[in-house]
Structure 1
Amino acid sequence: MSEAVAKAAARLWGLPEHRVQLAARRENSVYHVDHDAGYALRLHREGYRSDAQLVSELRWMAALEAQGMQVPRPIPSRSGLLVERVEGVQVDVLTWLPGQMLGKQGALDGVRDRGALVHQLGGLLAQLHDISDAWVPDAGFTRPRWDAAGLVGDQPLWDRFWLHPDLTASETALFLAARDQARLDLAALQAPDFGLIHADAITENLMLHEGRLSLIDFDDGGFGYRDFDVATFLFRQIAAPDYVELRTALLDGYSPRRHIDAQSLDLFLMLRSLTYPGWIIARLHEPGGAERSARAIAQALPLARAYLEGST
């Protein structure tokens, strides 16, 4: 079904359907179209984003690319639309970026010059934030908000993590305490840096080509705390033996361009960890869902506990 939809969609862009091949199936199904320099044809998960949100994402990416960032460039269909619907499925097309994924499951295993690449990533995130602040979206621009309500409100963007069905009573109490403390601490932040963020700068969304990093997959991008953007990458590195060095490298790459509150990072690392048990709730039935769920909870619990101990 998805392949048939992808091939039908290719025709709307004037692309050869016989050169459409599945490249990845995660939240969205991504097909590589082997034509010209290559294209990414995305079939979006049903109900995850509105057409207006997708068009906003694509216009933002176009603005970033126009200012020199190495990100996929949206390609309008032959009808001039950024988003089309094929059998009810939302479809868009982007340029295909060359290179290799930096790592899988957030890990940097086997990556050479880890510190240098993470330093480069810090500069890349700062560049994204700089360009985004200078850009003026149109009146219809709409993206998710990774603000206090989106992270620890009554209805967070990625579901109510404290209601995960696999939590014990004590674990639920811990998550609730962490949530309530985070609400207080977010409210107490003095003029936090807030604006458009990628919100998913993990190794799977970083491409490495000839020593240069580029960002892909802006699907979760929206308005949020800039420290949360930085923490998203760092969270996946916490178990690495060189975590302290990687954290320093990331901040050293970011801070020459923009201020970052290193002290608030622990708050945003904890908040990032709490999003994943919430995210998996609706996906427990999917292949590998139980394993990912157990891992998400196991990673979030010690961060929540440590944060609360540090707040007392």
Structure 2
Amino acid sequence: MTTTTIQYSTPHVDTITALLRDRYDLPEPLTVRFLRRGFNDSFEVRTGSKTLGVLRLSGSRVSPESVKSETNFLAFLDKNKLPIAAPIPTHSGELSTQIETPDGMRSVVLFHYVDGDEPGHHSAEDAKAQGITMARIHAAAGTFPHWNVGGHRLDLDHLLHHPLASVLALELLDDVARKSLSALASRLSSAVAAIGGLTWVRCHGDCHGGNARIARDGPLKGQAIFFDFDDGGPGFLAYDLAVFLWSVSLQREGYSQWHAFIEGYRSVRPIDPIDLEATHLFVPIRHFWLLGNYAIKTVEWGSELVSAKWLARQTEYMLKWEQDKLLPSVLLTPS
């Protein structure tokens, strides 16, 4: 008899409901709805007509140690009144738990629901609010005793070298394309190393605009509330800022949001000129990170996720960014 090996599974909502009733003190009646499958699985948790929270079932790339570091940091931020989606403790006081699935043990975190609107793609006001929240988080993180400990260290190995290796391991690219991609990674790595003295902070890691909500009423009105810190950890400040710039660059509709984001950040916390300049280099490095994570997920999502043609388009984007010298006249921010 052939043994079935499970690569990736998603528990039924009844299983998630049973877990919630067993491990959390939540009001009844509980309803669970599957929201999405991505790098993690997400479930909406409701009681009656009220949304209580969102349960995240971590994917294979996230270790329990990383989740523990993340949730401890979030609890610290919540205690200090930062606008974030805080974890809801289990009835035994744990900020995360685990569930056994056919593909192995996976971490579970239940987060408070974040009410508000998704930031507008053309709203400078919403971009500024995100810059303010990020600066407040970075400032608060400086007093977090374990800010430099985490499952991820957002250094060049994590952001650039390992992702490149994952892409090349797919063996989709011909020799010319492989050499081109590798040479670009080498140039970016050398350029970052040549700067020296870049600031390190506790990074959110994924502040691209979609992982925030703008509160339209209540005590947090006008503020950007952040969630999805699972790609965070100690790393380059320039990278954490650059993720927003990267998202704006993909919109190809001007950089007014980037200017507003930086204006908001600077209203709370200064940015060293070398860190701000380095954001330009970290835009393609962020893209390498994304390609590497897609490459890793092909075993779960299928080989059609990443093709040679798709990789060629991504490489073209990064080379164009490099060739244009990061559009210095457009990206120049007011001093």
**TM-score scaled to structure 1, two decimals?**
0.84
Of residues 25, 37, 41 in structure 1, which corresponds to 2:37? 25
- Find the residue that maps to 1:89 and give its secondary structure: strand
> What fraction of aligned residue pairs are identical, expressed as a percent?
21
Greater Cα radius of gyration, structure 1 or 2: 2
Quick one: structure 1 residues 310 and 237, their matched pair in 2 at CA, closer, same or farther if it must change by over 3 Å? Answer: closer
Distance 2:258 2:65 in 1: 36
Gaps of 5+ in 2: 1-10, 217-221, 327-335
The whole-number CA distance in structure 1 between the counterparts of 2:310 and 2:241 is: 21
When residues 159 and 243 of structure 1 are mapped into structure 2, their CA distance, relative to the original with a 3 A threshold, is farther
Does residue 254 in structure 1 map to residue 265 in structure 2?
yes
Separation (CA, whole Å) in 2 of partners of 1:209 and 1:253: 16
User: Contact 1:163/1:172 (CA < 8 Å) preserved in 2?
Assistant: no
Amino acid at match of 1:81: E
> Who is 2:178 aligned against?
172
> Does the aligned pair in 2 maintain the 1:273–1:296 contact within 8 Å?
no
2:144 is matched with 135
- Match of 2:283, as an amino acid? L
Residue equivalent to 1:43: 57
- Displacement after TM superposition at 1:4 (Å): 3.0
Residue 181 (structure 1) aligned with residue 187 (structure 2)? yes
Equivalent residue runs for 1:224-303 within 5 Å: 224-256=235-267, 257-260=269-272, 261-284=275-298, 290=304, 297-303=312-318
Q: CA deviation at 1:203?
A: 2.8
* Aligned residue in 1 for 2:124: 115
Q: Deviations over 1:34-78 (max 9, x none)?
A: 237612222222x32222221110010111122221111122211
State the shift of 1:212 in Å.
2.8
**Aligned pairs (5 A) from 1:72-91:** 72-87=85-100, 88-91=105-108
Q: Is the contact between residue 274 and residue 300 of structure 1 (CA under 8 Å) also seen in structure 2?
A: no
User: Does structure 1 residue 144 correspond to structure 2 residue 152?
Assistant: yes
Distance 1:239 1:182, change over 3 A: closer
Q: How far did 1:228 drift?
A: 0.8
Show CA shifts across 1:291-312 (max 9, x none).
666556523433235426859x
Secondary structure of 1:203 counterpart: coil
Q: CA-atom RMSD, angstroms?
A: 2.7
| Cα distance between partner residues in 1 of 2:306 and 2:125 | 30
Whole-angstrom CA distance in 2 between matches of 1:184 and 1:233: 23
Q: Secondary structure at the match of 1:32?
A: strand
1:57–1:75 Cα change, 3 Å: same
Report if the CA contact (8 A) 1:195-1:226 is conserved. yes
Out of 191, 205, 209, the residue aligned to residue 197 of structure 2 is 191
Partner amino acid, structure 2, of 1:50: S
Aligned to 2:4: none
Aligned equivalents of 2:213, 2:260: Cα separation in 1: 18
8 A Cα contact 2:35 2:44, kept in partner: yes
Cα 1:219–1:2, aligned 2, differ >3 Å: closer, same or farther? farther
3-state secondary structure, aligned to 2:42: strand
For 2:66 and 2:256, locate their aligned partners in 1 and report how far apart those are by CA, in whole Å. 37
Q: Are 1:100 and 2:142 matched, yes or no? A: no
Task: Name the CA shift for 1:138/1:86 in 2 (closer, same or farther; >3 Å).
Answer: same
In the aligned structure 2, how far is the partner of 1:200 from the partner of 1:100? 18
Q: Secondary structure at the match of 1:100?
A: coil
Say whether the 8 Å CA contact 1:40–1:94 is kept in structure 2: yes
> Which residue of 2 is the match for residue 307 of structure 1?
322
Tell me, yes or no, if the aligned pair for 2:116 and 2:215 is still in contact at 8 Å. Answer: yes
Cα 1:182–1:93 change in 2 (3 A) is same
Structure 2 CA distance for aligned equivalents of residues 10 and 79 of structure 1: 13
SS at match of 1:191: coil
Look up the SS of the partner of 2:258 in the other structure: helix
State whether residues 143 and 223 of structure 1, in contact with CA within 8 Å, keep that contact through their aligned partners in structure 2.
no
Amino acid at match of 2:178: T
Query: What is the rounded CA distance, in whole Å, between the counterparts of 1:225 and 1:183 in structure 2?
Result: 13
Alpha-carbon deviations, 1:214-270, whole Å to 9, x = none? 111111111111111111122122143542222222222223312143322221011
Deviations 1:6-58 (A, max 9, x none): 1122111033473222233322222222237612222222x322222211100
Alignment coverage as a number of residue pairs: 299
- Structure 2 vs 1, CA of residues 306 and 51 (structure 1 numbering), >3 Å: closer, same or farther? closer
Q: Given that residues 280 and 289 in structure 1 are in contact (C-alpha distance below 8 angstroms), is that contact kept between their aligned partners in structure 2? A: no
